[in-house]
Amino acid sequence: MKKIVLLIALLLSNILLIAQRYDISGFEGKNLRTGYPYSIISPEETIEALQDYDVKYYHLDLEATNTSTFIKGNTEIGVVSVVTSLNSFVVELIDELTVDSVLTGSTLLSFIHSSDLITVNMGSTVPAGEFFRVKIFYHGTVPEEGFFSGMTSDTDTDWGNSVTWTLSEPFNAKDWFPCKQDLKDKADSVMIDITVPDNLMAGSNGRLVNTVSVEGGKTRYEWRSYYPTDYYLISISVADYQDYSIYAHPAGLDDSILIQNFIYDNTAYLEQNKELINEAATLIELFSDLYSLYPFANEKYGHCVAPMGGGMEHQTMTTLDNFSFYLVAHEMGHQWFGDNVTCATWQDIWINEGFASYTEYLAYQNLVSQDYADNWMDSAHEWAMGMPDGSVYIPLNEATSINRIFSNALSYKKGAALIHMIRFELDNDSLFFSILQEFQKQFTDSVATGDDFRGVLENVSGSDFSWFFDQWYYGKGFPLFDIEWSSDGDTVFIRSTITSSSTGTPFFNASVEYKLNCEGGDTTIRVFQDQNIQTFNIYVPHNVTSLEVDPDNWILNQVSSISYIPDYKEYALKNIKVFPNPFSANLNVIFLDNSGHREISLLDISGKELIKTVTEQSELVIDGSLLPPGLYFLRIRENNNSFVKKIIKF
């Protein structure tokens, strides 16, 4: 009963997570800004212009409140020219916001604001390698368009608190501040000043370095982060908050890590959530041990509460609507996978979501129980198998679809299952976690693709994983197992046939475990199957009563059938394919198992040996073109056993 309850809890948590973070049903027909390739929304020369500079910093200085998405202020962008002569500066901002002026220093610059782009005439040529800054003053109301809006204002129906928050992933940072939405161009630092009414607080990235009283009964919250930050990880959240801060103490760190929680200023809220919030310290200590030290330890980790229906891993300051264990673990896992190391393209969202999802599994495994972790993986497999023709990697033509990027079945659950299978293939947890740590080390403060991770995996392990990524990352679907087995004395014979849920990947190589349930005690054996149909002969000194495929659920798979064949000779014959039968000329013989030396004879009806050959090959062609039509017998001898099959020549 306990396991059933746990499984129900897991299923509910997954359903909630989908409804909260990933379900964008009902968006159809709305004018979503889904970040279409620039070639669709602007001329080719404008596309190139966005690549003419490298972002060094963003400095946002905005006024906001908790009851609307109206904002006003300015954003200063510090950049370095990367072209020989830069005459215009192009940055993204939605047309619904009004640009008041653009300056460099104290000099006003002319500009055009159209098609969600601001094109600024620099007035003079900026040579390659030269640093310059542009300050853009603007105001307006950010359109609210559901979960993936750049900015949203809403009231928490449970607690009555009104909150305004941002969520820029994947293409909506331009909804609320001028930016360059390029995953590969992380800003070296981010400075965010948010002025709000005195009764409110404003949370954001990095350290809160100052709070300043401002005329009109307002306070400016000044946040600073000096870690490289991708555009979509910048955030603000405004509400009637209180600061409940705690500290984590990861092993090997002399100092502590601040965990700063901006929660509703309500005594009951803290009382109800305090235990869950405190769990964040344990999680950050665990992940620092498994993945490497929390990557932003010099600043903080934190949470801003908002009625958003899920969570978003804003760098150093996650925005979320509750402190459920799995949600906090998932978003915190992103600080390593997604924030410190960010996917280099949206096609490689697995770097973010697959690993953050697997972080949930690791949290359950290490801090709750293996049973709970197993139930989590069972649920993940169910989700993934609901998309039997899907791949983890996102094809280019689908990489602007929010539905596809944030597919729970593929990017999240199948992505996590893929990592679990890598762990299984390595069969060495110390090696597995050292690979994750090396990946963090090599790509810290940067971006990476799935192939980048494969490179680290192969270099550290010394093994080739190209076949694995061809099947599981770029490939589609999952394997289906049909098992036939028999036994003869102390030997168990397993014939495994693998087909696929998708024609896109017709075959999966696989390390597979079989649990043999024996009268003298159960045993688990491990084999590697590299053929569609393969036979394994296994020594077992006890009577085997039944078997299970992948008993610990390491592999994303479906077992279609398990059949016991009581007659070993009949079973052995199933491992020999003889065709065509009847035959007219050549007779083909294929051996489906891995045995070696065989003696093959063709006999007439009287038992006279007409043709004899010895082979260790898996395929044999017998020339029967000179034989008269009639009935014949094919005799095969191997391992002191003899099998006979009836054939007909016409």
Q: In terms of Cα–Cα distance, which of 389, 577, 565 is closest to 477?
A: 389
At 639 the pLDDT is 65
At 468 the pLDDT is 98
At 532 the pLDDT is 85
Tokens of 415: 């992505």
575-649 adopts what CATH topology?
Answer: Immunoglobulin-like (2.60.40)
pLDDT at 14 over 60: no
Q: Where are the alpha helices (DSSP H) in 306-449?
A: 325-333, 350-367, 370-385, 402-405, 415-426, 429-442
Q: In terms of Cα–Cα distance, which of 236, 104, 218 is closest to 177?
A: 236
CA distance 219 to 214: 5
The 10 Å Cβ neighbour count of residue 243 is 13
Hey, which CATH number is domain 479-569, 1.10.150.20, 2.60.40.1910, 2.60.120.10, 3.20.20.70?
A: 2.60.40.1910
1-30+336-475 adopts what CATH topology?
Answer: Neutral Protease; domain 2 (1.10.390)
Q: In terms of Cα–Cα distance, which of 201, 203, 200, 222 is closest to 211?
A: 222
At 629 the pLDDT is 92
At 568 the pLDDT is 61
Domain spans, the chain: 1-30+336-475, 48-154+168-230, 479-569, 575-649
48-154+168-230 adopts what CATH topology?
Answer: Immunoglobulin-like (2.60.40)
pLDDT at 337 over 70: yes
pLDDT at 346 over 60: yes
At 275 the pLDDT is 97
Between 583 and 216, the higher pLDDT residue: 216
The DSSP call for residue 508 is -
Q: Note the residue count of the chain.
A: 650
The DSSP call for residue 367 is H
Most confidently predicted of 16-30, 586-600, 615-629? 615-629
3-state secondary structure 49-65: HHCCEEEEEEEEEEECC
Task: Label residue 594 by pLDDT band (50, 70, 90).
Answer: low
pLDDT at 530 over 80: yes
User: Do residues 349 and 418 make contact, with C-beta atoms less than 8 angstroms apart?
Assistant: no
Read off the pLDDT of residues 178-214 as tens digits, 9 standing for 90 and up: 999 999 999 999 999 999 999 999 999 999 999 999 9
Coil, strand or helix at 213: strand
pTM: 0.85
Read off the pLDDT of residues 83-113 as tens digits, 9 standing for 90 and up: 999 999 999 999 999 999 999 999 999 999 9
- DSSP string covering 237-268: EEESEEEEEEEE--TT-SS-EEEEEEEES-HH
pLDDT at 285 over 50: yes
pLDDT at 257 over 70: yes
Q: What value, to the nearest 5°, has the Cα angle with vertex 393 and ends 387 and 398?
A: 80
pLDDT at 402 over 90: yes
For residue 515, report the phi and psi dihedrals to the nearest 5 degrees: -95, 120
Cα-Cα end-to-end distance for the chain: 63
At 5 the pLDDT is 33
At 259 the pLDDT is 98
At 569 the pLDDT is 59
Helical packing angle, 350-367 and 325-333, nearest 10°: 130
pLDDT at 3 over 50: no
Q: What value, to the nearest 5°, has the Cα angle with vertex 337 and ends 335 and 341?
A: 95
Read off the pLDDT of residues 144-164 as tens digits, 9 standing for 90 and up: 987 888 999 999 999 999 999
CA distance 590 to 598: 12
Task: Label residue 21 by pLDDT band (50, 70, 90).
Answer: very low
- Let me know if the fold of 48-154+168-230 is the same as that of 479-569: yes
Read off the pLDDT of residues 347-391 as tens digits, 9 standing for 90 and up: 999 999 999 999 999 999 999 999 999 999 999 999 999 999 999
pLDDT at 432 over 90: yes
